[in-house]
Structure 1
């Protein structure tokens, strides 16, 4: 049966009916890219240009591959191979392995962690879970970028990439990991090895290349902006000197650069193939004009390499409600108001399964899960486990259970939690490694939840806090039924809902803090991530942020820079509490003006309400200690911590541990010096 091309718009039809050869489809969000490429495949088959079993379509997820197969089958194009890069490489390597390696056996390595851990230990690196996971991710990035262990240090320096540890040690661990996979009895191959070996076979074994290229004549690559250098190398091996290639992608949706993905191959396609057909799909059939207008505004502020190929979406749906912007005093209030708005949408007839709440990091889900459960709204967490089911949260609660059995700890559950979580990764400063940073954020979210429980007088003792946490965990076990979706922005890629709530839109969360430190390219990737979030919504879009983390906390946060010139100024952000405060006197509370006053943290004319001699002695001790340790003074203790210690005048390590901002590691490292410094002032 002939393919009915009347179901396509003009641009889609041009792409679908382009002759065999290089075709690049620049497809914006919601513009029907899957429909277009399936129609292109079906049309080529219908016209006799290619046989179904000669077509290989490559996607980035099994879900996308399954959707493509279903659509092609419904159109009568049975026999087309649609799969992921790794699935294709696996099938090919199994077939060609005897020609490449003879009788040498191999098997797929399903768990790389133990081998990477052993390599880390041999290279002199930590074997903690976070470090091993970061090393594993770094090795995957290097292999996807076609960077070997020997060249790794130079390449990361050239690319100004921050490795999880000393670059030479990372390279040594990388080398040891690769060596550990080979033995006289056979080889272990990880997923990247599948691509490396099939690329090598196609490049170095003419018989293999000839047989493969006789099998497949036409290639289609979806999400081409996310191709890594290694995947591109495989694709070029598949093609050889041919150019029967269709790619589809959107540089505005490049959000996986940290894995080695690059939009360069998409952006340079017309240079690589000068006779290529290039088609832009810009009619957005997903979102209302109000949402597409916001999306265009967001991405229109982008700078850098993709600016010249920017797509301008045209909303094709009927007009809908304008996106809304909300600023809240704190995160718990934001979560409760979002839950209330969701209840309103459900009451108006929007199915719960068509509503999503999206956030930048998984740790942000805690307050949202609590608010939705309290509101009686069924939800499910996508792309990650529910908050209370995460390994680090289970470890943290187990540590609290152990602490509750002791009778020598402070009565403040928040202080005990901070101390108990320190060995688990809740350091004073945010760590650099991606895995350690995610763990730190999740543990911080649990401390905030405990603070809320205590502040709300829901519990006073640690035992009561544990009971409250257990009740919350039981209430928030997300059943596998229809419900509101909670997901990170990365996990939301490729999905869409009738209503989307984008929450936590504050500086140092979106863009994330390490992107702010890293520079323009990383910030632009965060902007694209925000754009992806906006374009997930069909009709309702709510954007919000909170000025403080906890209820009653200082409103020191700023809304995301990506909202500049977009979101209106809101009353809550201009309140007196929001204004930046000058440093104030600890005695009278009025602003400090002179450097001498600021050094004392009080006016010289104000009588101190603490032992100032003890405070100055602690500052002198801190300076000497910092010099001996060759580290900044604030890394020993901050001024605020020294003041808190002076006010408490602890006499024992346990009393010192009770001081806010002082954890077990600080007590172990600096406790004797602090107590010795304070001793003369206590006796006086």
Structure 2
């Protein structure tokens, strides 16, 4: 077995994560977007480290549920049967640590760790009686709030701790602990007992943590205590899916990671293998105002969707349904389920209704029962009787419509999602407390909305019902602030084409000028995150261009981008019809790339500045030497080169694909690059051939990329002009 067997099927970002070198690049934070394959990365990382010679018993991987730990263990053991990796939950780890026997130094012998902490019996997790604890606590007459879960916390002052000591002693005497007692005890062991600290740090050389955004402060301290000042920490999380603040989870742990570990590295997993592009566009807009260093842009990485059904190829836009009352709303849902089931041969289990609160779930369950629609997880009695006359047994429905709270749906996915209750006081839920507390709650509600949106694979319906019974009363609800606003096209007034072009030119140049003037303040503010800011602004600029140009842009097969290894040189080629092709390409790639362009464009006010900023290569076609200029620019950029070239060399006046020049194909061959063709249809009438001010329909299709390195390996006599140029030309011509 070699590393390539483990790395097979991973995209470039996933590979970089699995191959991460802690000695060179210290601790690693992986910001894993929804549906980006984080579990696969974690398990393959463990497999890779075992392959590199790390003893399985020296690897510790922490998850939040026993089910997740079991799934990861099963995956790891497919390649390494019986590998002794400790894959467990935080509480399971803490209990294991307390039961371990710790060497007692010069005195010799060993003692169970729990005895070092004063336990008289082996700790045993049990259900606590809140009533008994509250009664005992009330006798102490404390002025601070103390919960049973935080009884062993060291956050209390000396006076409070002294009063709590009898309650703690009772737990130490009986060994009857709650889960948080285990965590606090393990922390105390690491922070106060040098022998125990050294023992456990020696036991685990590498630490991996799943769902890092959901760990609470005590779990964070446990991880830090085990790690010490070592670099071997590999954590995966998504701050956009941090929805357990009410359980004590601290999103600050992931936001502060780079501060806590100064030399650490960050990798983003942004290729989503679950949802169609239009669902992801909506998801990306939810956090457009968050800090730039944590922002992610989800990109569709699966051409056929996770189900392969024709429904996925349609790339439907999310729909907003507005209903006056619940009866109207449920009728729409029932009709839609039946139509999609029959039209696309979907099973009942491919549908889900998501809600914010449990009492909403109960309503939709009863509504579906009234229409005789099966509900997943519900227990029913089989029809008929058994032969001996005994009533048929109860069975659990597996193929039924899922009705879930958004919290319960995390980690799941459905072909069709009806996201109900998108109104104020439901989604988002009602936020209480002072201004700071309300903002914190609202931020979590926004993340919860994101989780709901990203459960959808192919179809997403956002439901707003104006009136419904809630908490015993018929109430009116305002539209949720999270719902996207639909574009009002009635304000797009007609004008002569010449005036329209002047308006567009002034608007676009004004946009460029504004951000040029802001750069002296922007660059110092964003610092090392300036490039990420620039990428985002290029995308914003491109969307602004489409808006003022009145373009409706559709992009097909954007998932082909996921097949490109962006850590290697990439050359993108496309047909050329209009000046508008440049922002269209940016939006199609969802990345900033430099263009090979003629020097005369640099005379356009403000454009010259931005062309240099994004790495464009300006050539003088009249004087020659264009190939040398491109090669020199490529040499400076090395493996990071990403260049877009129009191989026709000039704009087409008819929309037909012209003859290709061979330069870009030679460059790709010289650099063992990826060649990515895209085809643009309908951009000619956007500017150069514009006849009116009506909206223009432009379509982009991303074609399958070519790995030039693999082509050369397969054919020793590979000639890019002979073998690649005509092939790419035909691909693009067929797509047009």
Identify the TM-score tier after normalising by the shorter chain: 0.5 to 0.7
Structural mapping, 1:2-13, within 5 Å: 2-3=2-3, 4=5, 5-13=7-15
Q: Is residue 249 of structure 2 the alignment partner of residue 329 of structure 1?
A: no
What is the count of residue pairs matched by the alignment? 441
Contact 2:113 2:196 in 1 (8 A): no
Q: Displacement of 1:150 after TM fit?
A: 4.9
1:115 to 132, 138, 157: 132
- Could you tell me how far apart the structure 2 residues matched to 1:241 and 1:200 are? 18
- 2:77 alignment partner in structure 1: 73
Q: Is residue 211 of structure 2 the alignment partner of residue 223 of structure 1?
A: yes
Contact 2:118 2:172 in 1 (8 A): no
| DSSP 3-state at the match of 2:409 | coil
| DSSP 3-state at the match of 1:182 | helix
Q: Is residue 196 of structure 2 the alignment partner of residue 208 of structure 1?
A: yes
- 1:557 alignment partner in structure 2: 477
Contact 2:31 2:267 in 1 (8 A): yes
Q: Displacement of 1:111 after TM fit?
A: 1.6
- 2:301 alignment partner in structure 1: 316
Q: Displacement of 1:117 after TM fit?
A: 4.2
1:184-239 CA-to-partner distances (Å, cap 9, x unmatched) read: 84343211110111111111111111221221110000111111110011111111
1:419-473 CA-to-partner distances (Å, cap 9, x unmatched) read: xxxxxxxxxxxxxxxxxxxxxxxxxxxxxxxxxxxxxxxxxxxxxxxxxxxxxxx
Structural mapping, 1:263-412, within 5 Å: 263-300=251-288, 302-303=289-290, 306=291, 308-318=293-303, 319=313, 320-347=315-342, 348-380=344-376
Q: 1:243 to 1:229 in 2, by over 3 A?
A: same
Q: Displacement of 1:178 after TM fit?
A: 7.6
Please give the TM-score of this superposition, normalised by the length of structure 2.
Answer: 0.55
Instruction: Answer 1 or 2: higher relative contact order, Cα 8 Å, separation at least 6.
Output: 1
Contact 2:423 2:464 in 1 (8 A): yes
Gaps of 5+ in 1: 126-134, 153-170, 387-476, 570-684
- Could you tell me how far apart the structure 1 residues matched to 2:56 and 2:486 are? 48
Q: Is residue 412 of structure 2 the alignment partner of residue 495 of structure 1?
A: yes
| DSSP 3-state at the match of 1:499 | strand
Q: 1:36 to 1:183 in 2, by over 3 A?
A: closer
Q: Is residue 197 of structure 2 the alignment partner of residue 193 of structure 1?
A: no
Q: Displacement of 1:343 after TM fit?
A: 2.9
Aligned Cα root-mean-square deviation (Å): 3.2
Q: Displacement of 1:8 after TM fit?
A: 0.7
Q: 1:515 to 1:332 in 2, by over 3 A?
A: farther
| DSSP 3-state at the match of 2:127 | coil
2:442 to 523, 529, 533: 523
Contact 1:490 1:529 in 2 (8 A): yes
- Could you tell me how far apart the structure 1 residues matched to 2:158 and 2:141 are? 19
Q: Is residue 401 of structure 2 the alignment partner of residue 484 of structure 1?
A: yes
- 2:557 alignment partner in structure 1: none
2:120 to 104, 111, 119: 104
1:606-629 CA-to-partner distances (Å, cap 9, x unmatched) read: xxxxxxxxxxxxxxxxxxxxxxxx
- Could you tell me how far apart the structure 2 residues matched to 1:349 and 1:24 are? 41
1:9-68 CA-to-partner distances (Å, cap 9, x unmatched) read: 0111111101134111111111111111211111111122x1111101001112211111
Gaps of 5+ in 2: 101-111, 304-312, 381-393, 490-736
Q: Displacement of 1:147 after TM fit?
A: 6.3
Q: 1:188 to 1:337 in 2, by over 3 A?
A: same
- Could you tell me how far apart the structure 2 residues matched to 1:139 and 1:149 are? 14
Q: 1:183 to 1:506 in 2, by over 3 A?
A: closer
| DSSP 3-state at the match of 1:201 | helix
| DSSP 3-state at the match of 1:342 | helix
- Could you tell me how far apart the structure 1 residues matched to 2:467 and 2:375 are? 25
1:281-330 CA-to-partner distances (Å, cap 9, x unmatched) read: 11111111011111011222x44xx5531111111234522111111111
Structural mapping, 1:101-250, within 5 Å: 101=117, 104-113=120-129, 114-119=131-136, 122=139, 139-140=148-149, 148-150=155-157, 179=167, 182=170, 185-250=173-238
Q: Displacement of 1:271 after TM fit?
A: 2.6
Q: 1:243 to 1:374 in 2, by over 3 A?
A: same
1:372-413 CA-to-partner distances (Å, cap 9, x unmatched) read: 11121111369xx99xxxxxxxxxxxxxxxxxxxxxxxxxxx
- Could you tell me how far apart the structure 2 residues matched to 1:97 and 1:103 are? 9
- Could you tell me how far apart the structure 2 residues matched to 1:57 and 1:116 are? 34
- Could you tell me how far apart the structure 2 residues matched to 1:115 and 1:568 are? 61
- Could you tell me how far apart the structure 2 residues matched to 1:349 and 1:143 are? 55
Q: Displacement of 1:270 after TM fit?
A: 2.3
Contact 1:335 1:367 in 2 (8 A): no
- Could you tell me how far apart the structure 1 residues matched to 2:133 and 2:331 are? 43
Higher strand share: 2
Contact 1:255 1:528 in 2 (8 A): yes
Q: 1:358 to 1:516 in 2, by over 3 A?
A: farther
Higher helix share: 1
Q: Displacement of 1:106 after TM fit?
A: 4.2
2:98 to 87, 93, 100: 93
1:37 to 42, 45, 48: 42
Q: 1:509 to 1:555 in 2, by over 3 A?
A: closer
Contact 1:22 1:277 in 2 (8 A): yes
Q: 1:227 to 1:34 in 2, by over 3 A?
A: same
| DSSP 3-state at the match of 1:561 | coil
Q: Displacement of 1:509 after TM fit?
A: 0.8
Q: Displacement of 1:97 after TM fit?
A: 2.8
1:237-272 CA-to-partner distances (Å, cap 9, x unmatched) read: 111222211001111111111222122222222233
- Could you tell me how far apart the structure 2 residues matched to 1:361 and 1:352 are? 22
Q: Displacement of 1:524 after TM fit?
A: 1.2
1:324-354 CA-to-partner distances (Å, cap 9, x unmatched) read: 1111111243234323322333333222222
Contact 2:424 2:478 in 1 (8 A): yes
| DSSP 3-state at the match of 1:514 | coil
Please give the TM-score of this superposition, normalised by the length of structure 1.
Answer: 0.59
- Could you tell me how far apart the structure 1 residues matched to 2:165 and 2:120 are? 20
Contact 2:99 2:122 in 1 (8 A): no
Q: 1:120 to 1:334 in 2, by over 3 A?
A: farther
